[in-house]
């Protein structure tokens, strides 16, 4: 699709994104951030988890997510390794080890210095003082850099929603926390495998359990220092690597590892397709197009058709006047499909390059 520089900048300006390219993400500084005082978190004692999927059901209910294909009482799904999806912010996986099955819960770990926030140049992700990493869909442009940056591969994307896609992940039930309630998964856990509280207190609880039962627990609190520390902490009676948890992450925060590389990508060249996708998506999210937005759309139509002659311009204006909403919707859909196609091609090329790098490594 041929797009002039003037038109590109015009679209950015119309969507209020003119300054986005010149801003930087919430990148890490050269000083380690140890977390906000009194921030909260969750301790997951893997040795207590029985794989009942009560946490999954509670998460689904609290976040008003669509029902799964198989009911939460069906434990056969545990036989297949799963990851989070736009419809499932947390999942439990079963690991058949030598003695008995071991179950671990997967969700956003709410890093102290989140890579998703560092990679997001519109600040859609933010680390709150309370502990959870929040997400603002209204400013998200769908670039999915958060998905690339996250070392735990947690954020997912609503690919099935062409006009209102969002990045989806666990919020630690942030709205409930602000109301003085427990996260949904913690509230329903029948075996108290999940403990909610201040992060500093959870670390003390974890250390006491290790000291009291050194024969049961691995002498390590996962999340205390991994990637600079996380608000979701883990205790386990089996090696973390045996249940699919990465032990090669080190203690350096994710933003320090990713911010430099991501900021080195030329935004104008590399991000214009996804920026346009985000611009159109934000426009489509509004229930009704206001008079001001309609005027802007007409102005864009005039700019695009002025060289094609007065006859086509007159026809476009009459059509817009007759059915403004339908005309804008049709043009947005058409442009979005072209932009999405361009982005998918770029994404495929990027994945191929990454695979080649891994093979060489």
SS3 label, residue 209: helix
Q: What percent of the chain has pLDDT over 90?
A: 56
Per-residue pLDDT band at 120 (split at 50, 70, 90):
very high
Distance CA(228)–CA(220), nearest Å, equals 15
Q: Stretch 91-110: mean pLDDT, rounded?
A: 93
Query: Is a pLDDT exceeding 50 seen at residue 15?
Result: no
* 44-96 per-position pLDDT tens digit: 999 999 999 999 999 999 999 999 999 999 999 999 999 999 999 999 999 99
Return the minimum-mean-pLDDT range out of 41-55, 205-219, 225-239, 330-344. Answer: 330-344
What is the pLDDT at residue 361? 65
What is the pLDDT at residue 68? 95
Sign of CA dihedral 95, 97, 103, 108: negative
Distance CA(361)–CA(351), nearest Å, equals 15
Please give the helix or strand (H or E) that residue 198 lies within, else none. strand 194-198
Which residues sit opposite 106 in a β-bridge?
91
DSSP per-residue codes, 160-180: T-SSS--EE---TTHHHHHTT
- The CA R_g of the chain, rounded to the nearest whole Å, is 24
Strand order through the sheet with 40-45: 194-198, 40-45, 232-235
Distance CA(54)–CA(59), nearest Å, equals 9
* 130-171 per-position pLDDT tens digit: 999 999 999 999 999 999 999 999 999 999 988 889 999 999
- Residue 162's contacts (CB-CB under 8 Å, 6 or more residues apart) are 333, 336, 340
In the structure encoding, which two tokens stand for residue 95, read together? Answer: 């690991």
Query: What are φ and ψ of residue 108, in 5° steps?
Result: -60, 135
Q: HSE on the CB side for 110, CA within 13 Å?
A: 28
**Residue in 105, 101, 94, 114 with CA at minimum distance from that of residue 25:** 114
What is the pLDDT at residue 269? 37
Cα–Cα–Cα angle for 23, 130, 33, rounded to 5 degrees: 60
What is the pLDDT at residue 282? 56
Query: Is a pLDDT exceeding 70 seen at residue 29?
Result: no
SS3 label, residue 40: strand
* 250-285 per-position pLDDT tens digit: 888 766 665 455 554 444 434 445 554 555 455 555
Q: What percent of the chain has pLDDT over 70?
A: 70
In the structure encoding, which two tokens stand for residue 92, read together? Answer: 């439990």
Q: HSE on the CB side for 125, CA within 13 Å?
A: 34
What is the pLDDT at residue 298? 66
Roughly what angle, to the nearest 10 degrees, separates helices 324-360 and 291-305?
70
Distance CA(20)–CA(5), nearest Å, equals 16
* 277-325 per-position pLDDT tens digit: 555 455 555 545 555 666 676 677 666 666 666 676 667 667 666 766 6
Sign of CA dihedral 77, 78, 81, 86: positive
* 181-192 per-position pLDDT tens digit: 999 999 999 999
Residue 124 CA from chain centroid, whole number: 9
What is the pLDDT at residue 323? 64
More confident residue, 346 or 229: 229
What is the pLDDT at residue 78? 96
* pTM tops 0.75, yes or no: no
In the structure encoding, which two tokens stand for residue 179, read together? Answer: 């109301």
Sign of CA dihedral 108, 171, 220, 253: positive
């Amino acid at each position: 699709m041929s797009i002039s520089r003037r038109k590109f900048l015009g679209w950015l300006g119309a969507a209020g994104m003119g300054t986005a390219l010149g801003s930087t993400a919430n990148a890490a500084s050269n000083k380690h951030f140890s977390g906000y005082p009194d921030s909260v978190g969750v301790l997951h004692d893997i040795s207590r988890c029985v794989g009942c999927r009560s946490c999954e059901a509670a998460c689904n209910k609290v976040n008003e997510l669509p029902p799964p294909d198989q009911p939460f009482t069906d434990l056969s799904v545990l036989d297949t390794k799963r990851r989070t999806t736009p419809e499932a912010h947390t999942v439990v996986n079963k690991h058949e080890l030598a003695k008995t099955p071991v179950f671990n819960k997967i969700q956003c770990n709410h890093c102290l210095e989140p890579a998703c926030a560092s990679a997001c140049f519109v600040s859609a992700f933010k680390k709150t003082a309370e502990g959870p990493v929040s997400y603002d869909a209204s400013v998200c442009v769908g670039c999915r850099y958060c998905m690339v940056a996250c070392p735990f591969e947690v954020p997912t994307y609503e690919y099935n929603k062409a006009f209102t896609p969002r990045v989806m992940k666990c919020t630690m039930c942030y709205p409930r926390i602000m109301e003085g309630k427990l996260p949904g998964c913690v509230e329903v856990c029948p075996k108290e495998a999940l403990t909610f509280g201040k992060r500093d207190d959870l670390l003390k609880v974890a250390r006491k359990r290790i000291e009291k039962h050194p024969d049961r627990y691995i002498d390590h609190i996962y999340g205390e220092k991994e990637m600079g520390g996380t608000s979701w902490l883990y205790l386990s009676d089996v090696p973390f690597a045996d249940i699919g948890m990465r032990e090669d992450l080190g203690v350096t925060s994710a933003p320090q590892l990713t911010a430099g590389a991501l900021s080195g990508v030329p935004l104008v060249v590399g991000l214009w397709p996804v920026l346009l996708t985000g611009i159109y998506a934000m426009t489509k999210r509004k229930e009704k197009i206001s008079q001001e937005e309609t005027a802007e759309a007409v102005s864009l139509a005039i700019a695009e058709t002025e060289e094609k002659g007065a006859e086509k311009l007159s026809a476009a204006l009459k059509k817009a006047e007759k059915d403004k909403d339908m005309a804008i919707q049709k043009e947005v859909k058409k442009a979005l499909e072209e932009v999405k196609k361009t982005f998918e091609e770029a994404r495929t090329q990027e994945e191929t390059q990454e695979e080649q790098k891994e093979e060489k490594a």
